[in-house]
Amino acid sequence: RELYSLTPEAKVRGYKPGRFSFNVRGGRCETCKGDGTIKIEMHFLPDVYVPCETCHGRRYNKETLEVRFKGRSIADVLEMSVEEALGFFAKIPKLRRRLQTLHDVGLDYIKLGQPATTLSGGEAQRVKLAAELCKVATGRTLYILDEPTTGLHFADIEKLLEVLQRLVDAGNTVLVIEHNLDVIKQADWVIDLGPEGGEAGGELIAAGTPEEVAEVEDSFTGQFLRNVLERRSAVAA
C-alpha cells in the first residue's frame, strides 16, 4: 500500500496508503465492502458467494484501480503468487526480502491477497514463521510448530528444514511436533511419546538423539527411524 501511495498518479490525487486497503472506505468497492464477492442467502441450502458485479471480484473501486505501478494495479498485485511477485518486485529490497522468506518456507504458490481463512494449518504456521524470520533476531525465542510439513513435497520439506536450522543457528530453540521421519532424523533431540496414540499414549517411551532413540526396542518411532538412519549411512558410505 505504501508503495502505491508513492506513485506519481497517487500523489497527484492525494491518495494515502489507506486508500489501497480493501478493509476501509475510500479505495474499496462499497458494493461488496472490499470482499470481492456478494453473499446470497439460501433458506434451505448453504449460502452462495458470487463475484461482485461492480468490481468483478477485484475489491477496489474504479478510481483506485487506475493507479498503476509498472503497469499493474493493486488488485493485479494481490492476484500474484509469491513466485510471480519475487520477479515483479526484484528491485525493491524490502519487499523482495519478505517475499524471499515466504519462498524459503515453501509458500511460493500462495497469492499475496489470499484470505487467511483459506490457508491450511501448516500453511498458516509457515506464514507466521516467515514473519518471524523477517524480524530482528533476538536469539532467545522458543518456536513451537505442530506438524508444519503437512502436505509438503519432499523438496519443500528440505527448504523448511533449512529455514528452521537458520533459527537454531541464530540461538533460538525450535520445538517441532512431527511424524515425518525426514524431519525427526534431523533433530538434535527427540522425545517419543506413546506407546499408542490418544488415551493409549502419553507415556515417555524414549528421549535422546535420533541415533539413541533408534536403539530403543519399545519405541515404534525408533524402529522406523532405525531404517531411515541405516539408509542414510548406506548412502553416505
For the stretch 24-82, pLDDT in tens is: 899 999 999 999 999 999 888 899 999 999 999 999 999 999 999 999 999 999 999 99
- Which pLDDT band, with edges at 50, 70 and 90, does 234 fall under? low
Q: CA-to-CA distance for 48 and 41, rounded, in angstroms? A: 7
Q: Which uninterrupted H or E stretch holds 96?
A: helix 93-104
Are 29 and 60 spatial neighbours (Cβ–Cβ below 8 Å)? Answer: yes
| pLDDT above 70 as % of the chain | 97
Q: What pLDDT, on the 0 to 100 scale, is given for residue 106?
A: 86
CATH class in words for 80-177: mainly alpha
Are 20 and 58 spatial neighbours (Cβ–Cβ below 8 Å)? Answer: no
- Say whether pLDDT at 124 is over 60: yes
| Between 45 and 110, the higher pLDDT residue | 110
β-strands 173-177, 142-146: how paired?
A: parallel
Q: Which amino acid is at 50?
A: V
pLDDT, mean of residues 125-130: 88
Q: How far is CA 25 from CA 3, 72, 105, in A?
A: 19, 22, 34
Q: What pLDDT, on the 0 to 100 scale, is given for residue 39?
A: 93
| Between 79 and 128, the higher pLDDT residue | 79
- Which pLDDT band, with edges at 50, 70 and 90, does 235 fall under? low
- When the candidates are 3.40.640.10, 3.40.50.300, 3.40.1160.10, 1.20.1580.10, the CATH number that belongs to 1-78 is 1.20.1580.10
pLDDT, mean of residues 203-230: 93
Do 1-78 and 80-177 come out as alike in CATH topology? yes
For 169-204, write each residue's pLDDT tens digit.
989 999 999 999 999 999 999 999 998 888 888 899
Residue 98: alpha-carbon gap to chain centroid? 12
pLDDT, mean of residues 105-121: 90
- Which pLDDT band, with edges at 50, 70 and 90, does 237 fall under? low
Q: What pLDDT, on the 0 to 100 scale, is given for residue 111?
A: 96
Domain ranges of the chain: 1-78, 80-177, 179-237
Q: What pLDDT, on the 0 to 100 scale, is given for residue 67?
A: 97
- Which pLDDT band, with edges at 50, 70 and 90, does 121 fall under? confident
- Which of 44, 60, 41 has its CA nearest to residue 52? 60
Q: What pLDDT, on the 0 to 100 scale, is given for residue 185?
A: 94
pLDDT, mean of residues 101-124: 90
- Say whether pLDDT at 147 is over 80: yes
Q: What pLDDT, on the 0 to 100 scale, is given for residue 232?
A: 73
